[in-house]
Structure 1
Amino acid sequence: MKRKLMSLPPSTSIPEMESNGTFTSNNSNENCTIENFKKDFYPTVYLIIFICGTLGNGFSIYVFLQSYKKSTSVNVFMLNLAISDFLFTSTLPFRADYYLRGSNWIFGDLACRIMSYSMYVNMYSSIYFLTVLSIVRFLATVHPFRHLHVTSTRSAWTLCGIIWFLIMASSVMLLNNGSERNGSVTLCLELNMRKIFKLQTMNYIALVMGFMLPFCMLNICYLLIIRALLKVKIPELGVRVSHKKALTTIIIALIIFLLCFLPYHVLRTLHLLEWEVGVCRDKLHKAVVITLALAAANTCLNPLLYYFAGENFKDRLRATLRKDHLQKTKCSIPVCIWLKKETQV
């Protein structure tokens, strides 16, 4: 979601909204416990997501880059999805540190600008990579020969480039959201709420174009692949495997949408509609915080998609592990020979 930061004097006392959609009041938290909740909740959750997401996506990228047979368009989309997740998880320790310090940013203005930007670039690039991946799976299964040009690796790389460009360009306004001094602390991830109408408008655009449109396309693919499966009475083995992978891809993508992205977009929209100056809705604020963490957790679920629905991913994984094991064994052979000679002497 694109939002523009307005510079205000540190003494200005108005509620603010973080880039995650959570409202706080910098000068008065007497009736609002959201700051304490964020300090307890975010660091723990972000560090867990960081460990799981970095390991899962880092290893997935390594496996995808290993040469095993011919690369496919499916693996191209999955590789780009893993890269997006890996880049985002690398920013999570900085977010955790910010909340551990009681919303005090120490890493400089440039790093602050990158935080909000990376969050939304990852979220919407993930949404579109998952959607395009499901569409390609569907086309390759239902119309394998009619859409060969769409499912080629060259088309996949071109489409990935277009997705990266559009998402990064549409989120570029978030780079305006730098750090801001407020008394003894430096704020980051905070947006003031003077132009609530503009924020609501931008939220609707992000909601429709960034979430609802891809979600509808995903559901259409699901219904069409079910219809295709019901038509085929006794499919051949190759067709059966293709249908199974397509269905698995779409189901996992739907689970990620429903669990990670849907709650956040619903509550973020509700939060913007319900917001009033000087009013602290604790339960709604906390719910938005939790749903933002769920949105970030999509980086931990995507490796499951690679494993269960990736083209030759299991074979690549086994080949990679076997190769690493052989390399370790070969490295230890000279040592063994040297040790034998030393014992004989």
Structure 2
Amino acid sequence: SEGKTIYTEDQNCTDVDRLMKRYYLPVAYAIIFIIGLVGNITSISIYLTKLWPWKSSSIIMVNLALTDLLYVLSLPFLVYYYSNEDSWTLGDFMCRYVRFGFHLHLYGSILFLTCLSVFRYVVVIRPLWAAQLQQKLWGIVACSAVWIIAAAEITPMLTLFSLVEHDNKTYCLDFASIRVDDVRRYGWLLTALGFLLPLLVVFMCYIGIVKQLAKGPSTTSAWRMRARRMTVLILVVFVVCYLPYHILRVLRIETQVMPDTPCMVHRVVHAAYIISRPLAGLNTCFNLALYTLGGDKFRKAFLSTFCHGCWLTKAKSQHHLAIISNASSDKPDV
């Protein structure tokens, strides 16, 4: 372990967690940074230039992309940190910014995805409300509520993050590695209200949409199937990205609280927790797929922007074939 959570080292205990931080985290964060930066800048640009006027879902999507973009912009600092023999040299402010930014992205994204699930559920269950729900006001209200709730959930962390000196090194501790007495109850509360409750809401929305789609002759309509695919993708993000992180974060904290925990248990749990941290940020890549399911003609706008050359080449080819065909048809029979 590191910083204030350092325990007595066992000479026979593997340092797999240190190897994971040294080699796995920089690579994983670098990949997420590249994909997330390009993808989210592209998505925001398309929404700003191609998809006016915005609907409520568009406003939520743009806020989700902004949340992801703010997160990926902090990743180069973590890549540098873990590549630099796990020693923080960027000062206290940047440490707080990076750690706080991760959790703002995490719980902000969870709430934005929950809002999208609820909106799709209402559209499927109450189709007559669809036009009203698409008004900008509902998107503004939803996004304002998300930012306020997410900030309220994680503001206490600002008092927890700090630099720690140990063995002539400076550590910028992650949430599960700082003052265990302060984070244990807060961690459980954050997991319950910030993750499990939204997960329950998303799951109930999925069940409601599936039941509704099983009724009536219009079950295969495009907008209903798009709503189902979007809710399924959001549920996958919750299970693949968020669930492992929250489970392993709780285990990480609890293994430090328990007295006489074997060194190997500490190391294995810490290594698993390290693996889950980039997974929690991997949702930035999954979120890119949501934009094509948002009903805002995002796919068409994307193709018109980046495949213009492809379409132009195809059009020229078809025009050339048409000329040849016409010329052949004009030839006299022999």
Q: Residue 189 of structure 1 aligns with which residue?
A: 173
Tell me if the contact between 2:71 and 2:105 (Cα under 8 Å) persists in the aligned partners.
yes
Q: In the TM superposition, what whole-angstrom CA distance separates every residue of 1:260-295 from its partner, at most 9, and x where no partner exists?
A: 001111121223233335643222211111111111
Alignment deviations for residues 204-239 of structure 1 (CA, whole Å, 9 cap, x no partner): 11111111111111111111111111112245xxx8
* 1:110 equivalent in alignment to 2:93: yes
SS in 1 for 2:87: coil
Structure 2 runs not aligned, ≥5 long: 312-334
Among candidates 263, 270, 274, match of residue 255 of structure 2: 274
Contact 1:78 1:310 in 2 (8 A): no
Structure 1 residue aligned with 2:287: 302
Q: TM (normalized to structure 1)? A: 0.80
1:37-76 mapped onto 2 (5 Å cutoff):
37-76=20-59
2:185 aligned residue: 201
1:106-134 Cα shifts (integer Å, max 9, x gaps): 11111111111011110111111011001
User: What TM-score does the superposition give when structure 2 sets the normalisation length?
Assistant: 0.83
Pick the aligned partner of 1:293 from 269, 278, 282. Answer: 278
CA 1:126–1:191 in structure 2 vs 1: closer, same or farther (change >3 Å)? Answer: closer
Return 268-277 or 310-319, whichever deviates more.
Answer: 268-277
- Per mean C-alpha deviation after superposition, the further-off stretch among 101-110 and 121-130 is 101-110
Taking a change above 3 Å as real, the CA distance of residues 241 and 305 of structure 1, as seen in their structure-2 partners, is: same
1:36-80 per-residue CA deviation (whole Å, 9 max, x = no partner) reads 221111111110111111111111111111143532111111111
Distance 1:102 1:28, change over 3 A: farther
Query: What's the % identity of the aligned pairs?
Result: 28
| Larger relative helix fraction | 2
The reply on whether 1:249 has 2:233 as its aligned counterpart is no
Instruction: Choose which of 121, 127, 149 in structure 1 pairs with 2:110.
Output: 127
- Aligned residues: CA RMSD: 2.6
- Cα pair distance change 1:99/1:322, threshold 3 Å: closer
Unaligned runs of 5+ in 1: 1-14, 18-22, 327-345
State the 1:303 CA deviation.
Answer: 0.2
Shift of 1:142: 2.1
Work out the CA distance in 2 between the residues paired with 1:39 and 1:194. Answer: 20
Structure 1 residues 1-345: aligned runs within 5 Å: 16=2, 25=6, 28=9, 30=11, 31-33=13-15, 34-146=17-129, 148-176=131-159, 177-190=161-174, 196-234=180-218, 240-275=221-256, 276=258, 279=261, 280=263, 281=265, 282-321=267-306
> Which amino acid letter does the alignment assign opposite residue 156 of structure 2?
M
> Alignment partner of 1:180: what SS?
strand
- Corresponding residue number in structure 2 for 1:10: none
